[in-house]
Chains A and B, each alone.
Chain A
Amino acid sequence: MAHQSDLIASDIHAYLQSQEEKSLLRFITCGSVDDGKSTLIGRLLWDSKMIFEDQLATLTADSKRIGTQGEKIDYALLLDGLQAEREQGITIDVAYRYFSTDKRKFIVADTPGHEQYTRNMVTGASTAQVAVILVDARKGLLTQTRRHSYLVSLVGIRHIVLAINKMDLVAYDAARFAALEREYRAFAAPLGFAEITAIPISALEGDNILVRSARTPWYAGPTLMEQLETVAIADVAATQPFRLPVQWVNRPHLDFRGFAGTIAAGTIRPGDRVVVAASGRSSRVSRIVTLDGDLPVAIAGQAVTLTLEDEIDISRGDLLASADQPPEHTERCRARLVWLHEEPLVAGRGYLLKSGAATVPVSVDGLEHKVNVNTLAEEPGTGLALNEVGVARLHLDRPLAFDRYRDNRVTGSFILIDRVSNATVAAGMFEAPLAAGAEETASAVDRRRRAALKGQPPLLLWFSGRHPGASADAARAVESRLHRRGLHTALLDDARLGDGLNRDLGSDATGQEESLRRASEAARLLLDAGLIVVVSSDVPLRAVQLLLADEPLTVVNVDDDRDAASLCEAVLRQLEPLLAAKDIVSPGIIC
């Protein structure tokens, strides 16, 4: 991995010193399938001599065996790490690559162009400062080119390199290059990029990657590497209002109480006044503590520990902020969501929202509109499916401090986590707070919402039989199995009903009828709580079916030759599809 510097061999100490000033740039590459992204990154690694001889030997062997470039080296194989991807011949996940020159260290997110994997692109883009968008010179701008450009603008990337690739296949045609650049600038105008630099390249041949190509004499701009090495990432973070999400309270002994976190924006010095966004309480910074000694000043990006002059209540999830320019602090807000999961967004369903160090239960009250990522048009919609983008109204369980995403990518971003599966289901960007009461459309909490929170369908199982105790035993066995699976259940049996709710009733026909009515109503109330209700009551099942015809009822007749264990198994087997449905299900009969 020889860098170009001669200092390495001649004066390693001088070289090491020069390396201490290097900056870091994170960028992403995106484009459509076959635009040559992996080839481009492989080429950057190759040309910056980040490929070792043993890797080269493997690469050469792999190129012959499974490469797509005939006898030539297939640079894409350097990046397509996972075996499944190699077999399919496409990149399917975000891969991170590293290389450095004498000026900068680079972290590259190689992101897929495959349509259904847009979520990976948003993932890679979320930490990037620059996007390299690849366009095949022969095919021109495609749907995915537009989609990816929109998504990188959405996550706040302001610097675009439009790499018009495969110029070798259009005979290095200047007119073709100019036409594509013009078309892209027109398309991207509403996206608000600060800078678009179009470069004609051939990743395969190496034109204008590191070295200016003799085959594009008509092009006067920078090579790709020159652009990446010099693109100015205006470091505005240090001049923004101070923000520090408190990650961890450091309390080694009674005399020290420090607030550890990474500064999200601004600059801080001892003596500066900071406010706790949630409580409004404020204090002054006493010390900026690090292992290397106290600091006189710290800026955005540094991970520090602050102590304050006053003892105020601060815990993980709080946001320390500049007292002059505090963040928003509200329960209701509008945010843009990118849906990342196969299971779609269900309005009204509860999720967890993680922003900074805070995790708060949230419900998505409704969708203002969806965004067609190909045309950028706003369209009506009620839910979001995988890879869809929309603007939603959020209702948090408690007020949260945040900034608008366009002002701060750290305190303005969040993820949504499914409370049941724990999957990361959405990427979110705060847009604005909403006034309380603006939320007239919020629907009441009902059975469906309560059940959704538990991740289960409300179900009613009614066991009945002639032998005393048989139905109660079966009901308890089934309930116990459901409970072990993490489902929320309730049990009503004759003994409990008789001792309580139905204590005042006689055993005559009228009493039995009223007893059944009360048991049914109690079951309904428990269903409304979103529970799986297991009833054992030895009454005629036909009567139960009539009384509860509108409920998700399954009746079980325990007068069967089967033993208790196999009956239990049979019931559970039949319940399986109902449990998987995760919605209100139709009645059924077992046995």
Chain B
Amino acid sequence: MTYTTHENPKALTHLQQLEAESIHILREVVAEFENPVMLYSIGKDSAVMLHLARKAFFPARPPFPLLHVDTTWKFREMIAFRDRMAAEGGFDLLIHVNPEGVRQGISPFSHGSALYTDIMKTAGLKQALDHYKFDAAFGGARRDEEKSRAKERIFSFRSASHRWDPKSQRPELWNLYNARVRPGESIRAFPISNWTELDVWQYIHLEQIPIVPLYYAAVRPVVERDGMLIMVDDERLQLKPGEVVQHKSVRFRTLGCYPLTGAVESTAATLPEIIQEMLLTRTSERQGRRIDHDQAGSMEKKKQEGYF
């Protein structure tokens, strides 16, 4: 971000303050923990977090690897983007797929979103964290995304079994983060906790941060299913009776596994157009995700069990 270069500098803008806070958090984790990792989900929030990490440690490279817990159901464009970003940034990219889930052939189509998410994402993540013995993991979650996140700490303690206990969180005061953990315990650190969706988009715009092309509108093959527009990303999506593949100008407000992520019809093909559409729209971004609406409080349950 460009800062004013006058003799008497102006007060910081809200994005400059958010950026500085995030950089502070990133540095604090790296300084306090033995073996941190950044969970990289390839979405726009991860893109911002990665960009902030480059800033925090410049001219050094961020001193931790990226971890992608691959469900094998990500959009193909996401995987291509992931590999490009890791290569360009010189990051060590770790990819983990739950071998148990693969063996059982777990798929969002045949097993339902709840079980699928539990096995491929939550269990997969725990396996990877245990395998590499990470004692801190950065996540790109924001507090404005969902109610249970609004109360989560920036340094969020996890027991040795990766559980989050919302009732006994450590108080977090000033910018002082308690990083003490015993062997096996860990911290999930959320550097962009205080950013909103609008902040993220404005920052991407200002800083010209690369994002997955799926965020921009284009004509793509989709089918309508359960009120969502699902993109036909590969041959594993089998049409149900009555379903037809349509070619529509769509984009994604949030990215996850293609069978669980609904597209929105849109013609917003530039960042300002995306921001404009977001500001004028009337639904929140997680609405396109199926796992959140099973029941009220469903995200809280998942989080207690170790979901990010």
Contact = CB atoms under 8 A, between A and B. Distances in A.
B176 A355 contact: yes
B194 A98 contact: yes
A79 B3 CA distance: 35
Nearest to A415: B176
B210 to A, nearest CB: 15
Interface string A74-116: 0000111111101000001111111010001101000000000
Which label, helix, strand, loop or mixed, suits the secondary structure of the B interface? helix
Contacts of A23: 11, 13-14
Contacts of A302: 3, 12, 16, 20
Given A54-B283, A413-B176, A415-B176, A251 B144 contact: no
Nearest to B142: A98
Contacts of B30: 248
A9 B276 contact: yes
Chain A interface size range: 35 or more
A463 interface: no
A417 B27 contact: no
Interface in B12-31: 12-21, 23-24, 27-28, 30-31
Interface stretch (B49-57, B97-105, B115-123, B129-137): B49-57
Interface stretch (A13-21, A199-207, A217-225): A13-21
Nearest to A62: B296
Contact of A24 (B17, B198, B275): B17
Contact of B147 (A81, A126, A413): A81
A157 to B, nearest CB: 13
Contacts of A20: 13, 15, 202, 206
A1 interface: yes
How many chain B residues sit at the interface, stated as a range, is: 35 or more
Contacts of A55: 284
Interface in B163-190: 166-167, 169-176, 178, 180-182
A260 B14 contact: no
Given A295-B3, A427-B173, A415 B59 contact: no
Given A262-B175, A291-B54, A302-B16, A54 B287 contact: yes
Nearest to B146: A81
A134 B236 CA distance: 56
A282 interface: no
Interface string B140-154: 000110011111000
B169 A93 contact: yes
A244 to B, nearest CB: 12
Q: In this complex, which of B23, B194, B278 has the most chain A Cβ atoms within 10 angstroms of its Cβ?
A: B23
8 contacts: A16-B272, A54-B287, A62-B296, A82-B148, A83-B297, A97-B150, A256-B59, A267-B9
Given A20-B13, A119-B171, 15 more contacts: A1-B278, A12-B275, A24-B12, A83-B300, A84-B167, A86-B297, A104-B14, A260-B56, A290-B58, A292-B1, A303-B20, A340-B171, A410-B174, A414-B176, A424-B178
